[in-house]
Amino acid sequence: MALQEVHTSDTETASHTNDRLKLSSVLNNKSEKASQLNQIKSRIETCLTNSNITEKTKSDYIFIFKLLGLDENKAEQLWIKVSSLLLQNSELSAIENQIYQNFQNTNIDNKNLLDIWSVRMSIRAQLIYRYISPFIAGTAGKVLDYGAGDGRIAQLLKDILNLNIQGVDQCDYRVQNIGVPFHILDGKRANFSDNEFETALMTNVAHHDENNEAVLSELSRIVQGKLIVMETVPEGETEKEIEQDKERMFMSDYLFNRLFSRADIPIPGLYKTPAEWKACFKKHGWECTHEDDLLSFATVMRDAHHLFVFER
């Protein structure tokens, strides 16, 4: 009888330990999320209190608002509203909700700004497909879209090229009618076997992870032979100009992901030049066999894009 009592006590202790570990994990995640939001808020405030960066950001935002159909006056009014909200002394999540509501309430020809943005995202996916399809067509093995985002690009590759493709990302914000298999990335190690994929693609993903090296190490583990990478890259004639352009890119990245797409993802803004990206991949055994300067994706943003094909 006494032995049974001890056994029950051990089971309860193990259960309580597991509960504490789960609670600790949840609290750590919340703490990490709060820290990320504070870092984003601080960087936004730094950008918007720098007159040079503010003017460039204003130009970018008004360009995008006009691209979506607003006239010059309304585009400027929306910029004033967004920028003033971002400088409020409030939690970033609350500010983002207010901005999102502003976008929902901004209508053009009976469509709100978010609906129009969604159409632009479809055009962007088609454009990316056109750039990357020559390097991935005919792939017989499994393909991974690492950082699949809304899922549109992977779906196009499956529908048009009949690829055996699946997607993975830190969170799920796929749009409707995406039938490509999708997995949530739990931690830094993906739940895939070594060399499981013949090819992987990353479109504007690498700069979102504070630990690029860990991501490249994991991709090197699960991908056999080819990486197709598209990245936004800073521009400038001098190192100072390049560093300033990174701050403008951060504000554009923020608008694109957290405000319009409402993706709850970190924006560390770790942008690199093409030469710097090639050096990063080379450390993990990947040789650049093709690259192309795509200039800008004028359908949605001004940022310069660069395409890389890495093989080993």
What's the mean pLDDT in 136-158? 96
What's the mean pLDDT in 53-77? 96
Say yes or no to pLDDT of 94 above 80.
yes
| CA pair distance 80, 36, nearest whole angstrom | 25
What's the mean pLDDT in 26-46? 83
What's the mean pLDDT in 227-236? 96
Q: Are 101 and 110 in contact, with CB atoms under 8 Å apart? A: no
Task: Please state the separation of Cα 279 from the chain's center in Å.
Answer: 21
CATH code: domain 115-238+265-311 is 3.40.50.150
Domain range summary for the chain, segments of one domain joined by +: 32-111, 115-238+265-311
Task: Determine the Cα angle at 293 with ends 288 and 298, to 5°.
Answer: 140
User: Which two three-digit tokens encode residue 27?
Assistant: 């609290």
Quote the mean pLDDT of the chain.
Answer: 89
Q: Which of 15-19, 32-36, 119-123, 227-231 has the lowest mean pLDDT?
A: 15-19
Strand 164-169 with 182-184, pairing: parallel
Range 159-177 burial, b when 16+ CB lie within 10 A, else e: eeeebebbbbbbeebbeee
Span 240-266, pLDDT tens digits? 999 999 999 999 999 999 999 888 888
Say yes or no to pLDDT of 1 above 80.
no
What's the mean pLDDT in 222-227? 96
What's the mean pLDDT in 59-83? 97
What's the mean pLDDT in 75-84? 98
Strand 287-296 with 304-311, pairing: antiparallel
Say yes or no to pLDDT of 285 above 50.
yes
Task: Determine the Cα angle at 54 with ends 115 and 87, to 5°.
Answer: 75
CA distance readout (Å), 270 to 6, 109, 165, 232: 54, 38, 27, 10
| CA pair distance 200, 142, nearest whole angstrom | 9
Residue 185 binned pLDDT confidence (cut-offs 50, 70, 90): confident
| CA pair distance 105, 232, nearest whole angstrom | 30
Residue 186 binned pLDDT confidence (cut-offs 50, 70, 90): confident
Q: Which of 132-136, 163-167, 265-269, 306-310 has the lowest mean pLDDT?
A: 265-269
What's the mean pLDDT in 28-56? 90
| CA pair distance 250, 109, nearest whole angstrom | 31
User: What is the per-residue pLDDT for 102?
Assistant: 97
User: What is the per-residue pLDDT for 298?
Assistant: 64
Q: Which residue, 96, 101, 160, is CA-closest to 128?
A: 160
Q: Are 201 and 278 in contact, with CB atoms under 8 Å apart? A: no
pTM: 0.86
User: What is the per-residue pLDDT for 171?
Assistant: 84
